[in-house]
Amino acid sequence: MLTQSIGRHTGGLPGVRAMSETHPGDCVVRPARPDDAAAVSLVHRSDVIAWKGWDAHGQPTWSHYEKLTAFERWMNGGPWMDEALCRRHLAHMQGPSRVALVAEREGTVCAEAEAYFGDEPPPFGKHLNLAVLYTRRDYAGRGLGSALMWSLMEMARARSCESLSLSSASAPGFYSRFGLACWQRWRALTVRANLRNSLYERDSSELAPAPLPAGWGMALGRIGSAAQMWDRLDPGERPPRDARSPGILMVADLALRSGRERARVVLEDKPFVAGVVTAYVWTPDGRLSPRMWAALGDCAARLGRSQMHTWADDMRRADVPAHARWGEEVREVWGLRL
C-alpha cells in the first residue's frame, strides 16, 4: 500500500500570441500548441518514477501506465499524464491571460512552462504566476528551463506586471538563480465542518457564478494563483469523468449579514476520502475572518460533510479556528518584484 503521492502537482497557463520565438543558444522558445500534446506529455511523464492505481476501496497500489484509466493517469500528475487530456489542456491554455510555452532543441520539444496573468492583493499585485515548469529528464541541465524562465520574465515585463510568482517551488535552488525568494508558506490543514447559526447569505447562482472579481486574492487553498485556481473550474480543465472523480459540490458567493465581508467559495469532494471536502476561498483582501470561517463550515456541514481540508498562509494562523489540525505538507509561494 502507498501512502505518498509521487512528486507532481497540477496547474497550468499560455498563449501570448504576439510573442516571437526566442533563441537562447540553440534552443527555441515558442508558444505551445495543442498538437504539441504528445511531446509535452512525454516531458511531464519523464518525471514520474512509478505509477499509482487505486483499488476498489480507494487505496493506492503500484500499477503500470497502460493499465491506468484516464482518471487514474490524471491523479498521477494532472492532464499532462495522458496525451488526449494534455491536448485538451493545451487547447484551453490558448485562452487570454494564460501562457503555455515550449522549448525545443533541434526541432524536439524538450521542456514546457505554463503561467497565468493575474491581479491580487499585495505582495503580488499585477503579476504572472508560473504554474508549471518541466524539462524532459534526458535534457535536464542544458539551459531549457532557464530559457523558459527568461521568456516568462520578458512577457511579464512586457505586460507591466509588478511581480513574477510561483506557488509550489519544488526546485528552490533553480528559482533562486533568477532572484526569486520565498514570500509565503501555505500549510495543509483540516477543520471540522459544523452547522452554525451564522448570519450569512449565499447567492443563488450556485454552480455558475460571475467571473472572479479582479484584484481578489486566495484566502484558502492557494496551491496556484487566484486566476489559476479559478481556471480549474472550467469544464475543459476538470479531471476526466469517472465514478471516483471529485465532484464540485458548491460554487457560491457568501456575504456576512453584518458588515461587508464577502467571499467566493468552492467546495469539492476530496478524491477517495469520504466525508471530506476541499475548500478554496477567494476574498477581496485574501483574508478570512472567524465569522466567515464559521459560514464556510456551515456550508460544508449542510452538504453532509464532516471535515474541510485546505491550505492556509502560515503567517495568518491567528485567523484559523483553534481546533484546526495542521498537516506536514507545506507549499512555498515564491516571488520576484519586477
Question: Which stretches of the chain bind ligand COA, using CB under 6 A?
Answer: 47, 111, 132-135, 140-146, 170-171, 173-174, 177
- Please report how close the Cβ of residue 77 comes to ligand COA at its closest, in angstroms: 11
Cβ distance to ligand COA smaller for residue 47 or 242: 47
- Please report how close the Cβ of residue 150 comes to ligand COA at its closest, in angstroms: 9
Cβ distance to ligand COA smaller for residue 48 or 68: 48
Give me the residue whose beta carbon is nearest to ligand COA.
145
Contacts of 149 (CB under 8 A, 6+ apart): 113, 133, 178
- Please report how close the Cβ of residue 32 comes to ligand COA at its closest, in angstroms: 15
Q: How many residues does the chain have?
A: 338
Helix (H, G, I), strand (E, B) or coil at 115: strand
Contacts of 126 (CB under 8 A, 6+ apart): 117, 118, 119, 159, 160, 161, 162, 163
Euclidean distance between CA atoms 1 and 40, whole angstroms: 30
DSSP state at residue 22: B
Cβ distance to ligand COA smaller for residue 293 or 311: 311
Cβ distance to ligand COA smaller for residue 130 or 226: 130
- Please report how close the Cβ of residue 103 comes to ligand COA at its closest, in angstroms: 8
Euclidean distance between CA atoms 289 and 232, whole angstroms: 25
Residue 190 has which C-alpha cell? 483540516
What percent of the residues of the chain are helix, what percent strand, and what percent coil, each to the nearest 5? 25, 35, 40
CB 269 within 8 A of CB 277: yes
Cβ distance to ligand COA smaller for residue 1 or 49: 49
- Please report how close the Cβ of residue 128 comes to ligand COA at its closest, in angstroms: 14
Helix (H, G, I), strand (E, B) or coil at 96: coil
CB 263 within 8 A of CB 292: yes
Cβ distance to ligand COA smaller for residue 145 or 297: 145
Q: How many CB atoms neighbour CB 88 within 10 A?
A: 17
- Please report how close the Cβ of residue 121 comes to ligand COA at its closest, in angstroms: 24
Cβ distance to ligand COA smaller for residue 112 or 253: 112
- Please report how close the Cβ of residue 64 comes to ligand COA at its closest, in angstroms: 23
